[in-house]
């Protein structure tokens, strides 16, 4: 496969995923009237997947620094699979769950007003300070992961090394901040 084909393939997958996530978050894709009983457990599953990916990424870095390419490769394949499972679970959750969770919204009306703002205003700013870069970098890291994977699997070592200097820290931040975002928003789930 040519680099041109790979770049087009990566662009197509990235565009599709970002479009689906935007449409789901804006409720432009109709979901079921009633969510299945497993739906409330998906955010916790996502946090566990993200935490596991964080540990695997750090372990993978350790093994490549030790020169153990085989273990590095296996760990990254596992991380890629778990991140893919996360993405499917994340999309499924937003398809099934039609209500939005708002940080600081104690009464579940979708707004943060009055006493809620007084009680959670400062922490809400901290939450948003973590959430915004998490979202932006999560969207941006997908093509980097796909290209890094392709170059690594094709043993294009120099191209792989050059790209993962960017991919690794972004992917690590996204997985770790995903856990923090979950822990911060969890008390405000109303399902």
Q: What is the pLDDT of residue 22?
A: 95
Q: What is the pLDDT of residue 191?
A: 83
- Cα–Cα distance measured from residue 148 to residue 29, given in angstroms and rounded to the nearest whole number: 31
CB neighbours of residue 166 within 10 Å: 13
Q: What is the pLDDT of residue 110?
A: 86
What CATH topology corresponds to 3-188? 1.20.120
For the chain, the first-to-last Cα distance in angstroms comes to: 46
Q: What is the pLDDT of residue 77?
A: 98
> Is the separation of the CB atoms in 135 and 142 below 8 Å?
no
Q: Residue ranges of the domains in the chain?
A: 3-188
Q: What is the pLDDT of residue 1?
A: 75
Q: What is the pLDDT of residue 60?
A: 98
Q: What is the pLDDT of residue 50?
A: 99
In SS3 terms, the chain reads as: CCHHHHHHHHHHHHHHHHHHHHHHHCCCCCCCCCCCCCHHHHHHHHHHHHHHHHHHHHHHHHHHHCCCHHHHHHHHHHHHHHHHHHHHHHHHHHHHCCCCCCCCCCCCCCCCCCHHHHHHHHHHHHHHHHHHHHHHHHHHHHHHHHHHHHHHHCCCHHHHHHHHHHHHHHHHHHHHHHHHHHHHHHHHCCC
Residues 6+ apart with CB under 8 A from 96: 31, 32, 35, 36, 39, 42
For the entire predicted model, the pTM comes to 0.93
- Cα–Cα distance measured from residue 64 to residue 117, given in angstroms and rounded to the nearest whole number: 47
Q: What is the pLDDT of residue 45?
A: 99
Residue ranges for the chain with pLDDT beneath 70: none
Q: What angle do CA 132, 133, 138 make, to 5 degrees?
A: 105
- Cα–Cα distance measured from residue 68 to residue 160, given in angstroms and rounded to the nearest whole number: 16
């Amino acid at each position: 496969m040519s680099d041109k084909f790979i770049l087009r393939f990566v662009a197509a997958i990235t565009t599709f995923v970002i479009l689906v996530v935007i449409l789901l978050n804006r409720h432009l894709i109709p979901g079921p009237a009633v969510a299945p009983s497993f739906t409330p457990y998906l955010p916790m599953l996502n946090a566990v997947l993200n935490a596991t990916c964080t540990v695997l990424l750090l372990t993978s870095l350790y093994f490549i620094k030790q020169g153990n390419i085989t273990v590095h490769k296996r760990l990254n394949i596992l991380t890629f699979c778990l991140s893919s499972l996360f993405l499917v679970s994340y999309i499924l959750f937003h398809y099934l769950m039609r209500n939005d969770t708002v940080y600081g919204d104690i009464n579940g009306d979708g707004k943060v007003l009055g006493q809620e703002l007084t009680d959670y205003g400062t922490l809400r700013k901290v939450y948003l300070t973590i959430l915004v870069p998490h979202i932006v970098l999560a969207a941006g890291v997908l093509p980097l992961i796909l290209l890094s994977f392709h170059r690594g699997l094709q043993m294009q070592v120099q191209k792989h090394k050059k790209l993962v200097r960017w991919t690794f820290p972004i992917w690590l931040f996204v997985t770790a901040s995903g856990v923090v975002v979950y822990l911060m928003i969890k008390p405000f789930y109303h399902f």
